């Protein structure tokens, strides 16, 4: 096997549930030796989160814990605590996502851990930071709600919906991975470890990108648009003859190509639809006109017609269809899955 970028890096993983385990899984995929510390008898909570199961294991747990070793330690037990201390002394990275103060009570908080090991990169993941929000519980669904994601997600105004996966946890794990890698790079220069602090709320507000910028720069408070985009049209789901079809037109050239593919030149010359701004302003009329045409053929037929013209489109696949697509494109989607 070829050498991986993080070969030789030892990670003491005190994380559980999703955000922290996702981070440490990424580090393991890059070659780090990840030792996952779990509570004796029960282990990570997600070991019990099923169905579904695979060979007796909860697939939720398996989804974020590949390539790791497991070590059962009760940090309240003196002998187990001593083993944890020894692990921290040898580790390059420590990751934890307990409530703020928990690791301090176990004498393994940032100051204590870096006193044991000055080269240690210490990553702490919380729900709402370690200051005034320290006592708030950090659950993905809660942060989706109070962090604004659900306010822009759903079929219609007044009908907020969570995302189909714990997206905030995943975003936070990715942000934390960037922070840990940057801290390791800094350690290469200075020889000293760093403290990396990431919280779910801040990661979500960063991940809201254009919606956050619309508020902070222009004072625009977005609402629920269903499957539509606040700044682009047509960019939504339409009914084809057999199943839903996404059309994701990002510029005027693509819209002109869409009109050619639909054999609807009158739409391209309609002053309501000339520019993207015009189309956003008249999105209801545009959607009605496109729906009339897209209903006439199946999603697969439209994909065959429109894709060669440079029009981004595709059917709404279930997960089996998504994996089939990735396989057909040679992406080998199972290579990095449990």
pLDDT tens digits, one per residue of 191-231: 999 999 999 999 999 999 999 999 999 999 999 999 999 99
Q: What angle do CA 151, 152, 156 make, to 5 degrees?
A: 90
Q: Would you say residue 4 lies in a domain?
A: no
- Tell me: do 71 and 194 sit in the same domain: yes
What separation in angstroms does the CA of 231 have from each of 10, 147, 157?
Answer: 45, 21, 17
Q: Would you say residue 225 lies in a domain?
A: no
Query: Which one-letter DSSP state was computed for residue 168?
Result: H
Residue 336 has pLDDT above 80, yes or no: no
pLDDT tens digits, one per residue of 25-77: 999 999 999 999 999 999 999 999 999 999 999 999 999 999 999 999 999 99
For 245, the 3-state DSSP assignment is strand
Burial profile 304-321: b = 16 or more Cβ within 10 angstroms, e = fewer:
ebbeeeebebbbeeeeee
Q: Would you say residue 142 lies in a domain?
A: yes
pLDDT tens digits, one per residue of 277-306: 999 999 999 999 999 999 999 999 999 999
Residues 6 or more apart whose CB falls under 8 angstroms from that of 269 comprise none
Q: Would you say residue 288 lies in a domain?
A: yes
For 272, the 3-state DSSP assignment is helix
- Tell me: do 34 and 159 sit in the same domain: yes
pLDDT tens digits, one per residue of 247-266: 999 999 999 999 999 999 99
Q: Which residue has the tokens 């309609």?
A: 270
Q: What is the CATH number of the domain that holds 63?
A: 3.40.50.10540
Q: How far is residue 43's CA from residue 48's CA, in Å, rounded to a whole number?
A: 9
Tokens of 197: 């602090």
Q: How far is residue 120's CA from residue 92's CA, in Å, rounded to a whole number?
A: 5
- Tell me: do 202 and 316 sit in the same domain: no
CA 290 to chain centre: 32
Q: Would you say residue 292 lies in a domain?
A: yes
Q: Would you say residue 40 lies in a domain?
A: yes
pLDDT tens digits, one per residue of 155-181: 999 999 999 999 999 999 999 999 999
- Tell me: do 140 and 47 sit in the same domain: yes
Q: pLDDT averaged over the chain? A: 96
Question: What sign does the CA torsion over 136, 137, 141, 143 have?
Answer: positive
Largest CA distance in the chain: 78
Q: What is the CATH number of the domain that holds 288?
A: 3.30.1540.10
- Tell me: do 199 and 258 sit in the same domain: no
* Percent of the chain clearing pLDDT 70 (strictly above): 99
What separation in angstroms does the CA of 327 have from each of 321, 322, 323, 333?
Answer: 10, 9, 6, 7
Lowest-pLDDT range of 108-112, 319-323, 334-338:
334-338
Strand partners, 94: 12, 122
What separation in angstroms does the CA of 314 have from each of 111, 196, 241, 323?
Answer: 52, 40, 13, 14
- Tell me: do 262 and 189 sit in the same domain: no
- Please check whether residue 252 is in contact with residue 200, taking contact to mean a CB–CB distance below 8 angstroms: no
- Tell me: do 239 and 186 sit in the same domain: no
Q: How far is residue 254's CA from residue 271's CA, in Å, rounded to a whole number?
A: 17
The total of structural domains in the chain comes to: 2
For 21, the 3-state DSSP assignment is helix
Residues 6 or more apart whose CB falls under 8 angstroms from that of 308 comprise none
- Tell me: do 113 and 198 sit in the same domain: yes
- Tell me: do 194 and 103 sit in the same domain: yes
Is residue 92 annotated as a catalytic residue, yes or no?
no
For 9, the 3-state DSSP assignment is coil
- Please check whether residue 196 is in contact with residue 180, taking contact to mean a CB–CB distance below 8 angstroms: yes
Tokens of 305: 């017609």
Q: Which of 13, 44, 140, 169 is catalytic?
A: 169
Please compute the mean of the pLDDT values over residues 106-116 and round it to a whole number: 98
- Tell me: do 75 and 170 sit in the same domain: yes
Residue 114: pLDDT band with limits 50, 70, 90: very high
CA 260 to chain centre: 36
- Tell me: do 161 and 272 sit in the same domain: no
Amino acid 1: pLDDT = 59
User: Among 4, 21, 9, 3, which Cα is nearest to 120's?
Assistant: 9
Q: How far is residue 106's CA from residue 104's CA, in Å, rounded to a whole number?
A: 5
**Residue span of the structural domain in which 77 resides:** 10-207
Amino acid 17: pLDDT = 96
Residue 337 has pLDDT above 80, yes or no: no
- Tell me: do 183 and 250 sit in the same domain: no
Q: Would you say residue 3 lies in a domain?
A: no
Q: Would you say residue 29 lies in a domain?
A: yes
Residue 332: pLDDT band with limits 50, 70, 90: confident
- Please check whether residue 137 is in contact with residue 210, taking contact to mean a CB–CB distance below 8 angstroms: no
Please compute the mean of the pLDDT values over residues 238-252 and round it to a whole number: 98
């Amino acid at each position: 096997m070829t050498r991986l970028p993080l070969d030789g890096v030892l990670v003491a993983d005190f994380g559980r549930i999703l955000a922290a385990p996702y981070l440490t899984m990424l580090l393991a995929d890059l070659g780090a030796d990840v030792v996952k510390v779990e509570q004796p008898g029960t282990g990570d909570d997600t070991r019990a989160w099923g169905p579904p199961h695979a060979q007796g294991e909860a697939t939720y747990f398996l989804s974020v814990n590949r390539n790791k070793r497991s070590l059962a330690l009760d940090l309240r037990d003196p002998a187990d605590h001593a083993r944890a201390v020894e692990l921290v002394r040898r580790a390059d990275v420590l990751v934890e996502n307990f409530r703020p103060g928990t690791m301090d009570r176990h004498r393994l908080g940032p100051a204590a851990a870096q006193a044991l090991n000055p080269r240690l990169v210490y990553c702490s993941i919380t729900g709402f930071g370690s200051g005034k929000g320290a006592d708030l519980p950090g659950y993905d669904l809660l942060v989706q709600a109070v962090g604004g994601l659900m306010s822009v997600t759903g079929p219609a105004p007044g009908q907020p919906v969570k995302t189909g996966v714990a997206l905030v946890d995943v975003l936070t794990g990715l942000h934390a991975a960037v922070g840990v890698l940057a801290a390791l790079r800094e350690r290469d220069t200075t020889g000293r470890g760093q403290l990396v602090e990431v919280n779910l709320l801040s990661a979500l507000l960063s991940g809201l990108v254009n919606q956050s910028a619309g508020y902070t720069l222009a004072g625009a408070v977005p609402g629920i648009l269903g499957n539509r985009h606040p700044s682009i049209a047509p960019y939504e789901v339409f009914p084809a003859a057999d199943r839903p079809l996404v059309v994701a037109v990002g510029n005027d050239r693509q819209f002109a190509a869409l009109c050619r593919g639909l054999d609807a030149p009158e739409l391209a010359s309609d002053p309501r639809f000339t520019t993207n701004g015009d189309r956003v302003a008249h999105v209801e009329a545009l959607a009605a006109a496109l729906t009339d045409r897209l209903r006439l053929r199946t999603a697969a037929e439209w994909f065959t017609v429109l894709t060669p013209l440079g029009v981004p489109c595709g059917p709404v696949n279930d997960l089996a269809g998504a994996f089939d697509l990735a396989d057909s494109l040679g992406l080998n989607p199972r290579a990095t899955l449990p």
